[in-house]
Structure 1
Amino acid sequence: MAAITVTPDEPLMDDKLTIVVSGLRRHEAVTLYAVLTNDKKTFASCASYVADGSGTVDLENSSSTQGTYTGVEPMGLFWSMVQSPGQPRGTRITHKHVSLPLDTHISVFPGQVTLDQLFLRQDMEAIAKTTVSRWYKSRSVTRHPIKAGRLRGVLFLPPGEEPAPGVIDLFGMIGGLVEFRAALLASRGFVVLALAYVGYKDLPLPCYLNLSYFQEAVDWLSCHPRVRTGGLGVVGVSKGGEIGHVMARYMPEVKVLVAISAPTYYVFPGIRHPDDKRHERDILHVISIPILLFEAWRGDAKILSILGEDDQSMNIGLHQRLWNTIPADKKANMEMVTYPGAGHLIEPPYTPHYPSSYNNFMDVWLAWGGTPKPHADAQEKSWRRILQFLNTHLQMNSEQKFAPGSKL
């Protein structure tokens, strides 16, 4: 009888899983089908395999012959997911309830079946099924909503009582409060403040962004009894990375900056996406104009800049131009890493690729760029690099370090 085995149990979202299908006939052709539903959004993937001589398909060694990915891809069922039919286009998985897992239902069907066939033929009978529950927030991490002065956000505390490095996590102009990356960082041993700054509760509109708000966040987190003294880290994507550049330049308490797809200039909306003729609203491509270059390197922060070479939301060539203006002695504090084929939304590993999406807060469509396999590789490699960078420059103690694959 066929069975699916997945290890480890209760994995974090950045854990690489071992997925094995056993009990098949020798050299039997089967198709694995994965479905994830979150916040009424459904994504799915599939891959066809041929069992080995012992009737086993092991995703760490077996090669997919067709599906949403091909070749040996242990986590392909997750990163290759695409939207199911019948949904509004341009949706993303943005997990809002990090104290609950994201459940992925995996089924095995006989023969080589395409994703379209799986979508259309709901009466197909699976020969094996299982559910994989993955977590952004470890059960041992605690979540604390924050309303202190003007500050709005959520603080995530790793287990234990000893002080740990503090990190402020910032997203872009998505609006509201986004917690999933902060929860995952806390699950790897950091004290993390997921900081809202626009479109959340009583916070002002974006035209009123004030640097003093972020200074208030730095002061508040620096004084928290669970945060180690000696400085903070900031992790920001897109607009959040841009804000992080300013914080690293003008706030000496910020010792480490990880800027992901962060513009170093003002941007202006551009033209309609050529592949999206069915929408009345424009997908915004960005015309990048170097009006303002933030000189974060003038501070003492260690800076890691993560960029996708196929970013359709900004011109990463300007980053290289900025890099060329930095004095050689200051470049020792900085790393700029670019990933071929990656787009703008470089998220934690095994997240599906979104070439474009609709931004409810801004009421626009945005083109992100990238292609699935290179983008997936970039997300996996950059996440390991981010954790290593934070561990090294925030001087996390060896007993506090939690690499992907470890348990908290």
Structure 2
Amino acid sequence: RTIRCRTICTTNDVVPPILSVTPSRALVDEKFKVLVENLPPGYPVTVRSLHNSEDKHDWEAYGHYVSDHSGVVSVSEDLSYGGTYTGKEPMGLLWSMRPVPGSRPGLRLRKMNVCTPMLVTISVHSGHEGFRDQAPLASVLTERWYMAPGIQRITNNEQGVQGTLFIPPGPGPFPGLLDMWGGGGGLLEYRAALLASHGYVSLALDYLRFDQESENLELKYFETAFNIIKDHPQVMSDRVGIFGLSLGSLVAVTLAAYSTIIKPCCIVCISSNHYYPAQGSTVASRFEGLYKARVNEDNQVIWKDVGLEFITDPSNIVGRINCPTLLVNGCDDQNWPTVETAEDVARLMREAGKEHLLSRLAYPDTGHLIEPPFSPHFRATTFVIHSSKEKVLLLWGGKTKPHSDAQEDSWRKILSFLQFHLYCGPCLKAKI
């Protein structure tokens, strides 16, 4: 669906500009096309995106363009000569979003209510300077969704497991995924909702809300969560995988290596972590040493150096993994030594005769927070330490353009990996 919006022009042009966004309603990992027509030839304009987040902060991106001989600007085809991105960048209006000037430092943009869209206003302004102070020549309100139509969202409190289950529309059965984020804790649903939009029954798991009394109880918690998916009538019981980022990737590796109760069909580990110290500790308690990490000149906390000490520990588990494993890492990750971790994982699996099970993706100038495509890049954000509730500014790493390219490329390859190992057939693609 396309919205074409005309406004009363503030100049003396006979025909006002026309701005169109196609599609104006889409999943967050779908591309759109932004077109401005009826401009004078060689006319300078600024195309801007603006989003007011759920926590009431304004985010923007913009590019400076010049119309062609027919008075047209195509964001997909034309060069941006300046702004938050430059060059030919069809989706720069999304991935280069940043807080508007004057916002407090350390903000991070995350969708908390997946039942509503991310609303983004695309507008076109005359000239390349002072665009924030002028009325737009035209504007269009677009919707970006994590959850496709027809998906069921079900709050799960079954068997003590806290999470949210997303079930794709249709008769099923579908493959399943246990989805886990990292050490920030809390229940984050947006990636699980997007995975369901691609045909997977996905359980977004909250696993740091409650303190577990022992490692064995904690392992049981994760096994129970996995089995909730496996035993669901809409799920193919032999096609359930695990998807984890950061601390969640440690859980994925631990379950694949040590559990005698569950057998994941495959695992995806973003910003991978395989550190497994002496028995007897829980996931949350294993990383207390990180909180003593160094601070740089910008007062940003860096955990990578302490992590290097952790991965030299002789206790390791990856040689026990018996399922296809995908590691996705950024080479400028300042939060965890993921490149070194991936090398260590490859060595250990090779020594165990299981290197054929391992696939690796490594991206230059890419940080720790590798999110779904077109998500803004966050080099450093405010982070609440789980144990002490202290707020720090945590350095994640990465440079905006290469990090964003990595998010787009890795998501496509992650979906291909999941399709191959869980569907063994054509990849399902949901559309809005």
TM-score greater than 0.5 by the shorter chain: yes
Residue 279 of structure 1 is matched in structure 2 by none
Tell me whether 1:196 sits opposite 2:211 in the alignment: no
Match of 1:175 among 175, 178, 185: 185
Aligned counterparts of 1:167 and 1:60: Cα–Cα separation in 2: 34
Residue 236 of structure 1 is matched in structure 2 by 244
Match of 2:303 among 267, 273, 285: 285
Q: How does 1:187-226 map to 2 (within 5 A)?
A: 187-199=197-209, 203-204=210-211, 210-226=218-234
Aligned counterparts of 1:9 and 1:112: Cα–Cα separation in 2: 25
CA contact (8 A) 1:5 1:21 kept: yes
Q: Alpha-carbon deviation of 1:98?
A: 0.2
SS at match of 2:238: coil
Residue 13 of structure 2 is matched in structure 1 by none
Aligned counterparts of 1:35 and 1:373: Cα–Cα separation in 2: 19
Aligned counterparts of 2:384 and 2:151: Cα–Cα separation in 1: 30
SS at match of 2:223: helix
Residue 303 of structure 1 is matched in structure 2 by 325
Aligned counterparts of 1:221 and 1:229: Cα–Cα separation in 2: 8
- Name which of structure 1's ranges 44-53 and 205-214 shifts more when overlaid on structure 2: 205-214
SS at match of 2:345: helix
Aligned counterparts of 1:376 and 1:293: Cα–Cα separation in 2: 35
Aligned counterparts of 1:294 and 1:168: Cα–Cα separation in 2: 23
SS at match of 1:255: coil
SS at match of 1:11: strand
Deviations 1:312-336 (A, max 9, x none): 0112223213322322641111111
Tell me whether 1:22 sits opposite 2:41 in the alignment: no
Match of 2:400 among 372, 377, 385: 372
Match of 1:275 among 286, 293, 298: 298
Q: Alpha-carbon deviation of 1:299?
A: 2.7
Counterpart code for 1:225: P
CA contact (8 A) 2:167 2:201 kept: yes
Deviations 1:49-105 (A, max 9, x none): 011111111112100000111000000011011112333211111111001000111
Aligned counterparts of 2:181 and 2:244: Cα–Cα separation in 1: 6
**Cα 1:10/1:292, change in 2 over 3 Å:** farther
SS at match of 1:229: strand
CA contact (8 A) 2:108 2:378 kept: yes
SS at match of 1:63: coil
Q: Alpha-carbon deviation of 1:207?
A: 8.1
Residue 21 of structure 2 is matched in structure 1 by 6
Q: How does 1:111-190 map to 2 (within 5 A)?
A: 111-113=127-129, 117-118=130-131, 121-122=132-133, 124-190=134-200
Aligned counterparts of 1:297 and 1:390: Cα–Cα separation in 2: 22
Deviations 1:168-209 (A, max 9, x none): 00000122100000000000111000111112xxx3269877
Match of 1:318 among 327, 336, 341: 341
Tell me whether 1:44 sits opposite 2:60 in the alignment: yes
CA contact (8 A) 1:175 1:361 kept: no
Aligned counterparts of 2:45 and 2:213: Cα–Cα separation in 1: 51
| Structure-1-length-normalised TM-score | 0.91
SS at match of 2:265: strand
CA contact (8 A) 2:50 2:122 kept: yes
SS at match of 2:428: coil
- Name which of structure 1's ranges 251-260 and 262-271 shifts more when overlaid on structure 2: 262-271
CA contact (8 A) 1:59 1:72 kept: yes
Q: Alpha-carbon deviation of 1:360?
A: 2.9
Q: Alpha-carbon deviation of 1:9?
A: 3.9
Residue 349 of structure 1 is matched in structure 2 by 373
**Cα 1:148/1:5, change in 2 over 3 Å:** same
Tell me whether 1:254 sits opposite 2:261 in the alignment: no
| Structure-2-length-normalised TM-score | 0.86
SS at match of 1:172: coil
**Unpaired runs of at least 5, structure 2:** 1-15, 276-285
Q: How does 1:77-96 map to 2 (within 5 A)?
A: 77-96=93-112
Residue 359 of structure 2 is matched in structure 1 by 335
Aligned counterparts of 2:227 and 2:212: Cα–Cα separation in 1: 23
Aligned counterparts of 2:246 and 2:75: Cα–Cα separation in 1: 34
**Unpaired runs of at least 5, structure 1:** 277-281
Match of 2:428 among 378, 395, 402: 402
**Cα 1:366/1:16, change in 2 over 3 Å:** same
Which runs of structure 1 show a deviation greater than 6 angstroms over 4 or more consecutive aligned residues?
205-209
Residue 8 of structure 2 is matched in structure 1 by none
Larger Rg: 2
**Cα 1:365/1:12, change in 2 over 3 Å:** same
SS at match of 2:135: coil
Q: Alpha-carbon deviation of 1:33?
A: 1.4
Q: Alpha-carbon deviation of 1:258?
A: 0.3
Match of 2:91 among 55, 67, 75: 75
